[in-house]
Structure 1
């Protein structure tokens, strides 16, 4: 449902606000972990056609320098979507079990019709699996812990690498637009 997608985005943006980095990993290590978790989660399901709905893994601001902190902190997020599966309840149970095996704390909302699974901890700060996302889709998303780094600078550096032809974690499945010759 669109509301769950909006909730996921809201959690992504606000959950890092005003927090100092909670782990010793770099922002890029966090990016790699969220991409890996999302891909490995989708492999738990008998669903095909996964795509990165919001494009690439992206950094967002946790704490800006403008708040008087010496250094900004940022957190990467990533999500993939697929056509909705047919066994929502079992799919949610499968994801919950997988995430629990990674040491994540898991809770499921609306478990009897179109479950949404939320998790915290383990290899990422938090994750969500929605069996009733917009356009009759499934969605899996994850957010890394806040780490030192300015989100604008991180995203610019990532784009510069892409512009040089490098494929970064989370770029898989992105359709590249090539400008026609003029």
Structure 2
């Protein structure tokens, strides 16, 4: 990841983590028919497709998507994923591009412009996303939909590869 995370990027990560840790049981709003792999892939694809809409080079992932339990009462999982690049020069315009794209995906979107533009989105193909334009780097991160799955099996799968 180029540079280091700024306060705005850290806040975006904290928001995504809070959404993941708050718990999410598969329900009518989330597709319980999706497999964990489909939920993970939808998250990664949405983030990569978002980045591709920006005239910024050098995108890098923090790490592979991380799996976590999302409901203690059911065997359910969600993935978290982050993707960053050196900052662009049109922060507000880029935030507006991201917001417009996420709306086409059926997401509910909110844009905060101060001190630096940040876009927050929920719904659509993922649970939640954020896009930070803080000085030093752009950062997109989020959590997948919560789906039925066993975190232990999926963690082992990640480790073994």
Q: Is the 8 A contact 2:19 2:143 kept in 1?
A: no
Contact 1:73/1:147 (CA < 8 Å) preserved in 2? yes
Query: Aligned partners of 2:116, 2:17: CA distance in 1, in Å?
Result: 24
Offset at residue 3 of structure 1 (A)? 3.0
Which of 86, 90, 93 is the matching residue for 1:87? Answer: 90
1:126 corresponds to which residue? Answer: 128
In the alignment, what sits opposite 2:147? 147
Deviation for aligned residue 1:37: 0.4
Largest Rg, 1 or 2: 1
Aligned to 1:9: 13
Give 1:100 deviation, angstroms.
0.8
Of residues 28-37 and 15-24 in structure 1, the stretch that sits farther from structure 2 once superposed is 15-24
Aligned length: 152
**Residue in structure 2 matched with residue 110 of structure 1 by the alignment:** 113
1:50–1:82: 8 Å Cα contact kept in structure 2?
yes
Matched residues in 1 for 2:69 and 2:15: separation?
13
Alignment of 1:29 onto 2:32? no
- Kept in 1, the 8 Å contact 2:19–2:128? The answer is no
Q: How far 1:106 sits from its partner (Å)?
A: 0.6
Q: Distance in 2 between matches of 1:13 and 1:95?
A: 20
Equivalent-residue separation in structure 2 for 1:118 and 1:33 (angstroms): 17
Structure 1 residue ranges without an equivalent (≥5): 163-182
- The answer as to whether partners of 1:37 and 1:142 remain within 8 angstroms in 2 is no
Q: Aligned with 2:153: secondary structure? A: helix
**Equivalent-residue separation in structure 2 for 1:13 and 1:59 (angstroms):** 12
- Whole-Å separation in 2 of the counterparts to 1:40 and 1:142: 13
Give, in angstroms, the shift of residue 29 of structure 1. Answer: 0.8
The answer to whether structure 1 residue 19 and structure 2 residue 24 are counterparts is yes
Q: Which has the higher contact order (CA 8 A, sep 6+)?
A: 2
Q: Give the alignment's TM-score, normalised by structure 1.
A: 0.76
